[in-house]
């Protein structure tokens, strides 16, 4: 952990900080933050119930979780609804599991829906309103018009479909869904998300995999024009010096040129990302790192140096006083690493913790006070007041 700092946690329920009730009883706290694909952020907490005096948790309770360090502050990791409670002995313990979304059954329930000549935002808002889900869509996606969409799926599956069509990432949390460009480094309200710079000292362990199976020179999409003729559009790979001429054709035919172009761009971006994967454990547990985070690795070696997009982060607090952060992700945007390497990048756009530091220590000094926004894929401001669950 950072030199001289002690890992801490905070648990809130109903607007009340209840941490003190089991400060010495927390055995394990694990929070997983997931970007898109219909996945939910989740939490699992195990407490020592040695004298059976811990207040009984209930399914449907909603709790807010923070992790951090003394002397630095805590990072808001989310608001979670308790889905299951397990009591066990020996040893006497209580474990709860929760997710960031309420009404999980509603998210999975299949419905028949038909949308004609509506925008992405209108489609999501109409479908979400049926299960009480509010919607926020980034402006670059919100007004994209879809001539026709026939959906015989759940709301969760509809979100995944729109993600795929627009190379976007959805977050379902606190009774709402946000949809933003996956690699754009922007929040749903369009403020910039700083890129995290990591070096060799940043890692306890690191694995980078390069895989040629996803290498595709271009993606082709088909659509029907106003006269009913089938036409094609294509998007080329953004990977430089690609050693293949292979192309990929999307199977279905779209209803407009704009829809086909968006789909081709999205699928090609997914294929480009599939050529590289990263799995890592940070040297210092860092609860300010989020899913959706853009990362540049520098100063190690060719094959590892480059940019990445984080898809899944797990933060763990243990009874022994340790705080651990692991993450996995895909290959990112090469121009991002080149921008950092050029030395001309705005310092506020790239945040680089030093040895023994965590991201929370460099947020405020870098002038990133605007990070304290209602967007779960951006690190919360150090010491920000927790929202009421």
What does the pLDDT average to over 57-64?
Answer: 92
More confident site: 292 or 240: 292
How do residues 350-373 score in pLDDT, each as one tens digit? 899 999 999 988 876 544 433 333
Decide if pLDDT at 381 tops 50: no
What's the pLDDT at 263?
85
CATH code of domain 105-181? 3.55.50.30
- Looking at the domain that runs over 212-273, which CATH code has it been given? 3.30.1920
Residue 11, pLDDT score: 93
* Closest listed residue to residue 377, CA positions, set 204, 199, 189: 189
Q: What is the pTM of this model?
A: 0.82
CB burial readout 73-88, b (16+ within 10 A) else e = bbbbbbbbbbbeeeee
In the chain, % of residues over pLDDT 90:
30
Provide the sign of the torsion angle of the four alpha carbons 151, 153, 156, 162, taken in this order: negative
Where along the chain do its domains lie? 105-181, 212-273
What value, to the nearest 5°, has the Cα angle with vertex 185 and ends 362 and 108? 115
pLDDT given for residue 142 in this prediction: 87
- Burial readout 310-349 (b: 16 or more C-beta within 10 A, e: otherwise): bbbbbbbbbeeeebbbbbbbbbbbeebbebbeeeebeeeb
- pLDDT digit string (tens) for 109-144? 666 677 888 888 888 888 888 877 788 888 888 888
Q: What is the model's pLDDT at position 286?
A: 95
pLDDT averaged over the chain?
82
């Amino acid at each position: 952990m950072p030199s001289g700092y002690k890992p801490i946690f905070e648990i809130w329920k109903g607007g009340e900080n209840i941490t003190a009730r089991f400060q010495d009883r927390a055995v394990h706290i694990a929070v997983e933050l997931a970007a898109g694909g219909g996945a939910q952020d989740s939490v699992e907490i195990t407490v020592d119930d040695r004298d059976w005096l811990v207040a009984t948790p209930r399914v449907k309770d909603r709790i807010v979780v923070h992790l951090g360090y003394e002397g630095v502050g805590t990072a808001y990791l989310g608001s979670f609804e308790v889905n299951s409670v397990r009591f066990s002995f020996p040893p006497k313990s209580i474990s709860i599991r929760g997710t960031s979304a309420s009404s999980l059954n509603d998210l999975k329930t299949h419905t028949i829906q038909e949308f004609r000549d509506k925008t992405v935002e209108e489609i999501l808002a109409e479908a979400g309103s049926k299960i009480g889900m509010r919607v926020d869509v980034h402006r670059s996606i919100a007004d994209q018009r879809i001539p026709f969409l026939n959906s015989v799926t759940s709301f969760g599956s509809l979100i995944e479909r729109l993600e795929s069509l627009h190379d976007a990432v959805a977050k379902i949390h606190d009774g709402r869904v946000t949809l933003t460009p996956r690699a754009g480094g922007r929040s749903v309200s369009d403020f910039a998300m700083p890129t995290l710079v990591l070096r060799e000292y940043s890692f306890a362990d690191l694995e980078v995999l390069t895989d040629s199976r996803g290498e595709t020179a271009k993606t082709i999409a088909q659509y029907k024009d106003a006269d009913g003729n089938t036409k094609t559009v294509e998007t080329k790979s953004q990977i430089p010096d690609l050693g293949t001429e292979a192309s990929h054709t999307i199977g279905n035919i779209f209803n407009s040129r704009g829809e086909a172009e968006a789909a081709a761009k999205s699928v090609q971006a997914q294929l480009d990302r599939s050529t590289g994967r990263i799995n890592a454990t940070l040297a210092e547990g860092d609860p300010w790192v989020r899913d959706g985070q853009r990362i540049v690795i520098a100063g190690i070696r060719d094959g590892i140096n480059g940019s990445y997009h984080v898809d899944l982060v797990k933060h763990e607090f243990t009874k022994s006083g340790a705080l651990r952060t692991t993450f996995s992700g895909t290959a990112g945007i090469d121009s991002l690493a080149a921008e950092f390497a050029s030395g001309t990048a705005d310092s506020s756009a790239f945040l680089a913790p030093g040895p023994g530091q965590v991201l929370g220590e460099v947020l405020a000094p870098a002038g990133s006070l605007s990070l304290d926004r209602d967007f779960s894929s951006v690190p919360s401001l150090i010491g920000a007041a927790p929202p009421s669950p």
